[in-house]
Structure 1
Amino acid sequence: MVNVAIGPILEEIGQIIAEIVDGDPNGSYLYAEAEQGFQAPTLFKDHGDHIICYRPNIELCDAIEKLWEIEPDDKKWQAMRYEVEDNRFNARFEFPDELNPDEWVDDRLERAVAERYGDRPITYPKPDGTYQTLTLDDFPDDDETGPS
């Protein structure tokens, strides 16, 4: 039986994608993986002669988590490919037994992108300056955090 509650969440994901790509979601492709407490979405949009990778926002991560959580434990997917073409979305799901457990998420993402776009150029976002480099000085000594 199909979980009818996922339809509105999939539509919400499409609306969030439209916001992220500044309006028109046509040509968008989302590859996302999820499991308990973890979402790894990567969003692309085809601009004809090149592809742009967009940063996901917290709303997209929350919607993916909601979509994953709504499924019963025996029906939980691990990867989703979400495409928008001609103002319609198509979502395909892959389940844990369909994926190689020895691969990393990045390996599967790389393959999904190659299947979708071949060797077309992709522009990735640059760090936005909110990153911080941590050193060992940023962490307390073990004896400061242990029981007293």
Structure 2
Amino acid sequence: MIASPFRLDTCSNALAAWTAGQQHDDISDDERRRAFSIWLRSDRLSSARSADGQTVDRKRKSANFSMNDRKSVVAETESERLLKEIGGLLMEDSEYPLEPTLLYAQLDRNMVAESIFKELGNQFLFRWPMNERLSYALLELWEAQDGQDRWSEMEYVLRDGQFDVAYFHPDEIDPQEDVIERSERALQRHFGEKPIVYPPLPTDDDLQNYGL
């Protein structure tokens, strides 16, 4: 049984932290970012179907594919199909369909949390997923791994009709570091150092659209 990946569990402390960061000018940029990270991880952790396996691998795997690759269905692996689908879903953003994009996702059993950034000239813009199918596709990709060793985070860079994917295993990740810090570092690595614009706290109507 698959539960909706957009069922949010409201965390009042995280909401309060982010609201404080929005309303008070004396809050530093780092504190604002930290508050957003807390809210993002607490309220955007998505429920989905469970998967078996443990993640204990130091290796990092990467791949590069073209969105226009016309391989036969027989030759195409399930992972390749899902990666292409993810690219198509990121391009469903009606306002910014073709802008260079970074998707940074954190996955585990019953959980997926994704952050999407669009490069807009001299800044990056955080974007919410436009299609709930994205969370399902990410979970299916995570579950499609062979064996017991599973990556736990991935970065997906989409630009000029092609995408690059890198997978990170738990032993490569500092448990004391926020995932938002890793996503921002990935942005700088791929697109250079620019300011990041995060959205305001979602309204009650926005939250209802996610199924609350």
Query: 1:35 aligns to what?
Result: 108
How many Å apart are 1:81 and its aligned residue? Answer: 0.7
**CA distance in 2 between partners of 1:48 and 1:85 (Å):** 14
Instruction: Give the root-mean-square deviation of aligned CA atoms.
Output: 2.6
Q: TM-score, normalised by structure 1?
A: 0.75
1:88 aligns with 2:162: yes
- Determine the C-alpha separation between the residues in 2 that align with 1:72 and 1:112: 26
User: Deviations 1:92-117 (Å, cap 9, x if unpaired)?
Assistant: 11111211233332343343334445
| 1:68 shift after superposition | 0.6
Distance 1:37 1:73, change over 3 A: farther
Structure 1: distance between partners of 2:147 and 2:123: 39
Segments of structure 2 that go 5 or more residues without pairing to the other structure are 1-62, 64-75, 207-212
Q: Which runs of 5+ in 1 are unaligned?
A: 133-148
Verify: 1:74 aligned to 2:119, yes or no.
no
- Compared CA separation, residues 45 and 23, structure 1 to 2 (3 A): closer
Divergent runs of 4+, >2 A: 20-26, 72-75, 101-119
By relative contact order (CA 8 Å, sep 6+), the higher-ranking structure is 2
What are the residue-to-residue correspondences of 1:36-75 with 2, within 5 Å?
36-56=109-129, 57-75=131-149
Task: State the TM-score, normalizing by the size of structure 2.
Answer: 0.54
Measured in 2, the distance between the counterparts of 1:102 and 1:128 equals 27
Q: Closer, same or farther in 2 for the Cα pair 1:63/1:25, shift >3 Å? A: farther
Aligned residues: 131
Give a deviation string over 1:70-89, Cα, whole Å, max 9, x none. 11352311111100121101
Any conservation in 1 of the 2:99–2:120 contact (CA below 8 Å)? no
- Larger gyration radius, structure 1 or structure 2: 1
Write out aligned runs for 1:126-145 (5 A).
Answer: 126-130=200-204
Pick closer, same or farther for the CA change 1:25–1:45 going to 2, 3 Å: same
